[in-house]
Structure 1
Amino acid sequence: MGMSVRDVATRAGVSVGTVSNVLNRPDKVSPHTVDKVRAAIDELGFVRNDAARQLRAGRSLSIGLIVLDVSNPFFTDVARGAEDRAAEDGLTVLLGNSDENEDREAAYLDLFEKQRVHGVLFSPVGDAQSRLDALHRRGIPTVLVDRPTTDERFSSVAVDDVAGGYLAARHLLDTGRRRLAFVGGPRDLHQVADRLAGATNAVDETADATLEYIATDALTVLQGRQVGEAIRERDAVERPDALFAANDLVAMGLLQALSMVGPLTVPGDVAIVGYDDIDFASAAVVPLTSIRQPSALIGSTAVDLLLREAEAPDEFERQHVVFQPELVVRDSTAPKV
C-alpha cells in the first residue's frame, strides 16, 4: 500500500499542511523543515498523486490532441510541434487518432473531458458542428488544427489549401500537362475539398486543360497504389498525363504503381505532385514534387492560442491563423518533352 501525505507528516513530525507546502510551495517553508520532510519522503518512498491534485485544481496538466491519421507523418510533425511548445509550460500532450472515424473522435472527446484536460486541439472529421457546439457548452478551450473556421467561438490554425491546390495544378499545367487528375478522398474531408477546389480554379484558367476527380476511401499509400494500378491499365488516350494527390501518402502509392511496374515512367508519361512535403517525399525512388505545409509550426501555434484562451477565456479574442503553402519542385514533375 502506498504512503500518504499524512504518513510523511507523521514521520517528519510536522503538519499535513506543511508537507503540502514543501511539495507545492517550498519557498514558504524553512530550509530545515524542508530537509526533514524530504528525508521522510525518501525513507517512506512516497510518490505524490499528481492526477488527484490536478483534479482538485479543476484542470489537468495535459492537452488533448485529436488528429485524422497518426500514420501520416504530417500529423506526427504537428504533434511534435505541439509537444515541444506545451513542454515549455510544463504541459504534456495526449494524442488521439480518430482514423477519420466520427465515433472514435467522439470517444476521444469524451475521454479528454473526463480527464479535465487543459484544452483540446482538434482536427475534425467532416462536419463537426455538433461536436464543436458540445465543446463550447462544456467550456473546454478548443483550437481547430489544420481546419479553418469562421466560427468566432474558436481559434484555428490552418494552411490555405485552396491556394495549395492551385499551386499544384498550376505547376503541372506550366510543365505542359493538360489531362490532369486529382486523386484523394473522402471528399467530405475539408482539406480534400479545398485542395480540389484550388486545382479546379487553375484548370479553369486553361482552355484546353481538363481535370478528372478520382475518389479514394482514405488518404493512404495503399489507396494510391490501387488508383495507380487502374490508371496503368488505361489506354494511352484515356490516361491522365499528370496526377495531383491529396497528400504525399497517396502520391507515394501512385508513384509505386506507375514507376516500379510496367512500361510507364514518372515523369515521362505521368507527372505527380503530392501534398504535405513529408520527409519521405525527397527520398522517394523518383523525388516527389509536393506542397509544403509548416506542420510543426501549426502544432506550436495551436498550443500558443490554446494557452492564451485558457488563461483568460472571457477576454481572449479568438484568432484564425492561416499559413501560406509552398511549392517544392523535384524530379516527379520534370517538364514534358
Structure 2
Amino acid sequence: MSVGTVSNVLNRPDIVRAATVERVRAAIAELGFVRNDAARQLRAGRSTTIGLLVLDVRNPFFTDVARGAEDEADSHGLSVVMANSDESPEREAAHLDYFETQRVLGMLISPIKDPGDRLERLRAAGTPVVLVDRTAGTRNLSSVAVDDVEGGRMAAQHVLDLGRRRLAFVGGPPDLEQMQDRLAGVESAVGAVPEASVEAIATKALTFEDGRLAAKALLGRPPAQRPDAILAGNDLVAIGALQVLMGEGRLRIPEDVAIVGYDDIDFASAAVVPLSSVRQPRELIGQTAVRILREEAEDPGLGPRHVVFEPELVVRASTTGRAD
C-alpha cells in the first residue's frame, strides 16, 4: 500500500474506495499510529491552534467565553488552548511566551493592565491578537467587549429608580479597565441624583470569597453607615456578599440591601435570592473574537476592528423582591 494512498485516507477519504479506507484504518489501529499534527503544521507553515489567555479560569464568565471560542474555532478546523493568568503579570508574560514559542495561529487575551507594546509587536510580526472583554483604546489591536460604562450606569439607575440612595460599588482590582468603566457608569448615574452617593470598595480579585470579605467589613459598620444597594463587579462577588449579608448579618434582601451583579452567569438565577445582573453575551464574545482573529490570519492586511456589544439588565428578586 503506497504512502499516497494512506495520506488520502487520512486527509481526503472521500476520494478513496471504501474497501481501501477500511483496510488502511484497520492497519492504523493495529499499529497504534498517531498522526503528528505538529509536523503537518510545520510543513504547511500555519498552525491550527489559537491561544486564549483569561484573567481567572474559575470565573464562569470566561468559561462561557471559551465555549463560544471553541465552537467557532471547531467549525473551521481550529482548536483553542486556554491559559489562566490568575491576574498575575508574571504568569501572563509566561503564557504569552509559551504561545509565541508554539507559533499559534493567533492569540485571544483578556489582559490585566494595558497590553503594552508586546502585543502590537506580535501583530506586526504576523500573529493576530484580539483583546477579549477589553477595549483596545489607542492600541493597534482588534477587540471584542461590552460597553461596561453603560452596564454600570444601567445597574445604578435601576436601584436609584427603586429609591436607593446609599450605593456601594464592590469590585477589583481597581486598576482593571472593566472595573474602572463600570464604576464610571455608576458614578454618572449617581451624579444626576443630588441626594445619592456612591462608595467604591476595592477588592483584591473578583471571587466569591472577595465578596464575602467585603460584606463582612460592611456588617462591622453601624446600620446607618451601610449602603442600601450594592453594585458588584461581577456575579461571584455579588453572590458572596449576598450569602454573608443574609446569613451572618441576618439582613433582608432586597428590603435592607439591594444587590446587582454583573455578567449574568448561570449561578445568578439559581442563587438563594435570584440575582439581578447585567448580562454580557459571553459565548458571542468568544465566537466573535475567533472570527476576527481567523479573518486577520487569512488577510494580514486587515486593519484592527472593534466590536462593542450592548449590555442588558436582567431584573430578579435581589432588587425587586420578586422573581421576574
TM range (shorter): over 0.9
Residue of structure 2 in register with 1:162 after alignment: 149
Q: Is the 8 A contact 2:120 2:141 kept in 1?
A: no
Q: Is the 8 A contact 2:151 2:185 kept in 1?
A: yes
Residue of structure 1 in register with 2:125 after alignment: 138
DSSP-derived class of the 1:273 partner: strand
DSSP-derived class of the 2:254 partner: coil
DSSP-derived class of the 1:80 partner: helix
Moved more, 130-139 or 111-120: 130-139
Over aligned residue pairs, what C-alpha RMSD do you find?
Answer: 2.0
Query: Are residue 55 (structure 1) and residue 42 (structure 2) matched?
Result: yes
Structure 2: 5+ residue runs without aligned partners?
none
Matches of 1:73 and 1:207, distance apart in 2 = 37
Structure 1: 5+ residue runs without aligned partners?
1-11
Q: Which amino acid letter does the alignment assign opposite residue 143 of structure 2?
A: S
Shift of 1:163: 0.2
Number of residue pairs matched? 321
Shift of 1:150: 3.5
Q: Which amino acid letter does the alignment assign opposite residue 307 of structure 2?
A: V
Q: Which amino acid letter does the alignment assign opposite residue 295 of structure 1?
A: R
Q: Which amino acid letter does the alignment assign opposite residue 62 of structure 2?
A: F
Q: Is the 8 A contact 2:120 2:139 kept in 1?
A: no
DSSP-derived class of the 1:94 partner: strand
Matches of 1:267 and 1:43, distance apart in 2 = 65
Moved more, 110-119 or 170-179: 110-119
Q: Is the 8 A contact 1:248 1:290 kept in 2?
A: yes
Q: Deviations over 1:61-111 (max 9, x none)?
A: 211111111111111100001111111011111011111111111111111
Give me the identity figure in percent: 64
Residue of structure 1 in register with 2:241 after alignment: 254
CA 1:238/1:36 → structure 2, altered by over 3 Å: closer, same or farther?
closer
Q: Is the 8 A contact 1:58 1:116 kept in 2?
A: no
TM-score, normalised via structure 2 length:
0.92
Query: Are residue 298 (structure 1) and residue 285 (structure 2) matched?
Result: yes
Structure with the greater alpha carbon radius of gyration: 1
Matches of 1:223 and 1:29, distance apart in 2 = 59
TM-score, normalised via structure 1 length:
0.89
Q: Is the 8 A contact 1:64 1:95 kept in 2?
A: yes
Matches of 2:37 and 2:227, distance apart in 1 = 58
Query: Are residue 333 (structure 1) and residue 313 (structure 2) matched?
Result: no
DSSP-derived class of the 2:203 partner: coil
1:269-288 mapped onto 2 (5 Å cutoff): 269-288=256-275
Q: Deviations over 1:231-282 (max 9, x none)?
A: 1121122111111001001101110110112332211111111100111111
Residue of structure 1 in register with 2:89 after alignment: 102
Residue of structure 1 in register with 2:109 after alignment: 122
Matches of 1:31 and 1:266, distance apart in 2 = 66
